[in-house]
Amino acid sequence: MARKALSSVFAAMAACLLTISGAVAAQAPAGLWSSTLYRVELQVNGGAVSGSFTLMDEPDAKPGRIVGHIEADGRAFTADWTLTDGDEESTFSTLLNFADRDGVLTGYRWTEDAWPTAFALRRAVDGQLVEVYGEEDLDEVTAVSRPVEIPGEPQVATPVSAPRVTPSGHAQAPAPDIQVVVCEKAVDGKAINPSDEFTAPKSIAALVKYRDLPANSTVSWLWTLDGRTEGQLSKTLEGTGWHMHGLRSETEIAPGAYRLVVALNGRIVAEKNVTVRAEGKPATTVKPPAASGTPAPGPSISVTVCERVADGEAVNPGTQFANVKELACLAKYRGLPENTELKWVWELPGGKTIESVKTVNANGWAWHGLKAAPSLPAGTYRVTVHALGQSCRTITVTVR
């Protein structure tokens, strides 16, 4: 699909694909921004957007140019990004929403040869480029063998197919199409080690690829073992794209005969039997533990600030840091109810705040953090973790 056609599609879809809250133009795109790859300067003149960008790892290279315009609804802008290297010129396009929340431009990037992927820019703080990032996968922190859920991994919805036209000339929406693949894990919409039998896996996943879903379609996953629910998720989706949901264990998934049911708007579209074997052993089933008179322990959350997180463990934890590029807040939790929201609220030097929310349950860990180049601005940072309607802990750290 040509860039102009994609641009037209995204202009039409901007209001429905991007979550809008508050008044139109909650922030203006002019200023200094960054992504994981680029340092970006934007200017606005009336409805025109222009600017320049450089690669983060090549700051002295010749800047690329950005040329675009604000969409008619005033909530987003479309732009072409062009980088020239000698006689070679490369271009990609973006659609970015600037009425979502202050300090972040969210949207998509694409080329003539590639479907759109998620793209975001984050506003500089006090002249320093600060990037917000977080860990999306959760790993179990427990000695028992029961798996924990892998949260769904949403991906960008790609442009919806053109509607079909009936002989009478009326447009007819294309019929939705859903494909379900069971695999060990999914990466960028691709199934890794697809199968219905696994030996000592640490994770299993159900990858759902969908096309032409009507707005507000609900796709649900249900995993059971011996009639007991091991994991479930319901997600509102539309258009064309993919989403996954599954189970994960710190050691290995408990062996047994699992049952997967995927439904669209309450109608079953796939039922699959998935066999998990222990290493060197035939498939067996694991019965739920017998009830005892000892009540289950209540929910608990421990919070640590560190330089980074590796496999669920804090690296260089503390409250005093010097010349660091990253800060991370690790939350380890046990016994959380299903669909518990963990929320991180960072207060940055200068008064700005950054928030992130993840939905978790049972036992596991998750983190959220800050990153800047060449280093985080010096000053006092404060991070608070919220869960179950209350503040769990606030930690104040100093960066020198």
Give, in order, the Cα–Cα distances in Å from 380 to each of 78, 130, 344, 399: 37, 15, 16, 6
Q: Do domains 3-124 and 148-159+174-277 have the same CATH topology?
A: no
Residue 181 contacts residue 209 (beta carbons within 8 Å): yes
| Cα 82 to Cα 182: distance, rounded to the nearest angstrom | 40
Rounded-to-integer distance, Cα 236 and Cα 218, Å:
5
Whether this prediction's pTM lies above 0.85 is answered by no
Q: Whose CA is closest to 335, among 141, 194, 189, 204?
A: 141
The pLDDT value given to residue 267 = 82
Name which of 377, 389, 379, 378 is nearest 128 in CA terms: 377
**Any residues with CB less than 8 A from the CB of 274 and at least 6 apart, and which?**
182, 196, 197, 198, 204, 257, 258, 259, 260
**Which residue in the block uniquely carries the two structure tokens 């693949």?**
181
The answer for residues whose C-beta is within 8 angstroms of residue 12's C-beta and 6 or more apart is none
Domain 3-124 sits in which CATH superfamily?
Quinohemoprotein amine dehydrogenase alpha subunit, domain 2 (2.40.128.120)
The residues spanned by each domain of the chain are 3-124, 148-159+174-277, 300-399
* Helix, strand, or coil (residue 16): helix
- Residue labelled with tokens 């960028």: 188
Q: Which residue has the tokens 């066999």?
A: 275
Tokens of 37: 């790859």
**Residue 6 backbone dihedrals phi, psi, to 5 degrees:** -65, -40
**For 300-399, which CATH superfamily applies?**
Macroglobulin (MG2) domain (2.60.40.1930)
- Would you state the structure tokens that stand for residue 110, as one six-digit string? 């694409």
In the 8-state DSSP scheme, what is residue 75?
A: S
d(C-alpha 32, C-alpha 121), whole Å: 9
Topology of domain 148-159+174-277 in CATH is Immunoglobulin-like (2.60.40)
pLDDT tens digits for range 300-334? 888 999 988 876 788 888 888 888 888 889 888 88
- Interstrand relation of 379-387 and 148-150 (parallel, antiparallel or unpaired): unpaired
Q: Which positions of the chain have pLDDT values less than 50?
A: 1-26, 99-100, 131-146, 156-171, 281-296
Backbone angles phi, psi at 11, to 5 degrees: -60, -40
